[in-house]
Amino acid sequence: MGLSVTTLWRPVGPAELALVRDADWRAWPPRLPDQPIFYPVLTEDYAVRIAREWNVPHSGAGYVTRFFVDSAFLARYPVRLAGGRDLRELWVPAEELAEFNRHIVGRIELVHSF
């Protein structure tokens, strides 16, 4: 029986993308002091929307990444709605990000650039 994984998406700007690249596409960087939560999203459409509408205006470019995480591990994080049923995300406390990274299966992939 194989490992069950969940596909997650993360919209990022150039600085965060560079840190992921520096981590060989295998981990998310630690949160900054003013970032208590790491929030991957559950749909590609939502990630694209954030990348286009927030990352591009704020940093000049936006990117969408896709990655896979052990589904059993993810069960500890309830799905949060961010304003609508299609705007679903997980909230991972910053202090749990290193453990979250250990449950990523494979590499983080860059799938869209804006």
For 66-89, the pLDDT digits (tens) are 999 999 999 999 998 887 777 899
The mean pLDDT of the chain is 95
The token pair at 87 is 């705007």
In the structure, what pLDDT confidence band is assigned to residue 1 with cuts at 50, 70 and 90? low
Return the beta strands (E) in the chain as ranges.
5-12, 37-38, 63-70, 79-81, 88-90, 92-93, 104-113
Q: Which CATH architecture has domain 5-113?
A: Alpha-Beta Barrel (3.20)
Q: Tokens for 55?
A: 């990352």
The alpha carbon of residue 85 and the mean position of all alpha carbons in its chain are separated, in whole angstroms, by 18
What are 7-32's pLDDT values in tens digits? 999 999 999 999 999 999 999 999 99
Residue type, 46: Y
